[in-house]
Structures are given as structure tokens and as C-alpha cells.
Amino acid sequence: MNIPARDRLIVALDLPEAAAARTLVQRIGAAAGFYKIGMELCMAPGFFELLEWLRGQGKQVFVDLKFFDIPETVGRAVRALSERGAQFCTVHGNQAIMQAAAQAKTHGLKVLAVTALTSLDRGDLDDLGFQCDVEALVLSRARRALQAGCDGVVSSGLEVAKLRAEAPRELIVVTPGIRPVDNRAESDQKRVMTPSRALQAGADYLVVGRPIRDAADPCAAAEAIQAEIASAVRSEE
């Protein structure tokens, strides 16, 4: 998949207000061109205005709302979002829900199926009633997403290598839980990975939040990750 190296970084705007998100984007400047906006911002005023502002700034947008409802409702939601100019959206449901989302997308919107949240581990799956390990669940969800017509999946970097061994290369893999260093002790995400390792495993896009958001210089933090991405991409060529 021919993706420009600098487009592989997706900065998560996990902030409580649209104004704060705009400020962060402005501080990052040209160091990132792809942003994720999700549930927290959706609960604040100005969510769609922020999406339109990002598009007006020439940025790509990943709307991460993990649509989960009856298939008809999900389909209508995806169809409406398609008109907003976003590049990616997420769906988190069964086969019928994923199919409805895939069939409703237009205007180049790509639908990504969530496999297993990076905050979940084996104990959490037991609590949810899944009688399988995380890797098996991710692979099963990826197979079903492909069958449903989704464009890709959201997967922890820890499962990407196995997923890549089984899935066609056209499948887009977006990997959250990315940390420039191994600081999982400070993270609410249990399955994390560095940018280089995730790309080497086969991830296409990397979602990075707090290592950029909470940095003293978000632009410098983003550029450092971009440099690591560029190095990893060159080593694969």
C-alpha cells in the first residue's frame, strides 16, 4: 500500500473542547496532517465544525465513534458522515452492522472495524464472556470485517504481524496504543507498541495521543515520531 510516510501518523485529539483541539493542531503545525476526533469531542459543542475546520486546514480526519446500533441506523450514520469529508470512520459490531456501514459509505470514506480495544487484556475478555485469547479474537474480527466489505481494521500492534500473515495487503491496519518509549506502566492501554515495531509488524497508520498532546513542545514530539516512522519505512523498502 503506497502511503506517504508523513501521512502514517494520526494524532488523537483526545481533548474535552473543540477550542483546545484547534489550539493543539495549530501548535503541531506542519508536523502532522492526519487527526483523530472521537467520543469525548463529540460530547462537546462544535464537533462537526471542528471536522470542517480541519478539512479547511488541509488535514485528513479519522472520525472514531465506533458506530454500534441496529444496522439501518449505522448505515444512515455512515452515509451522513460520508458527506462531511472524513477519510476514516470506525464501526464496532456484528456482521450485519459492519455490512451496513460498508454498503453506506460514499465520497471516499473508508470504514474500519474495531477488533479488540487496546485497553483489554485476557482478564477483560473473560469478564466480557469471550472464550478465546486476544489474538484469536482480533483475527476472527478481521476476517469478518473483510467479508463484510470493510476497508480495514483497528488493531493493536501486538496482533498486527499475525493479522498480516493471514489478511490481504489491501486491508488497512490502523494501530492505536503507540508509545515512542515503553511507558505502559503510565498508560491506560495495556497492549502498546513503539512506532518502529508497529510499522515493522505491518501497521499502515499509527495513532498517537498523549505523547504528543502532553509534550512540552507538541510539534517537536510529532516530528520525532515522524522521523522514527520515516526511518522504519525506509528500512522496509
204 half-sphere exposure, CB direction, 13 A CA radius = 19
- 118-139 CB burial, b ≥16 within 10 A, e <16: bebeeeebeeeebeeebbebbb
Rounded distance between C-alpha atoms, residue 59 and residue 67, angstroms: 23
Exactly one of 66, 105, 110, 190 is catalytic; name it.
66
CA distances from 42 to 63, 64, 68, 224 (A): 10, 10, 15, 29
Whether residue 162 lies in the annotated active site:
no
58 by Cβ neighbours in 10 Å (0-12 / 13-18 / 19+) ranks as exposed
Q: List the alpha helices (DSSP H) in 68-166.
A: 71-82, 95-104, 122-128, 134-148, 157-166
Q: Among candidates 160, 205, 203, which has minimal Cα distance to 8?
A: 205
Residues 6 or more apart in contact with residue 66 via CB below 8 angstroms = 39, 90, 91, 92, 114
DSSP label at 233? H
Q: Which residues are catalytic?
A: 66
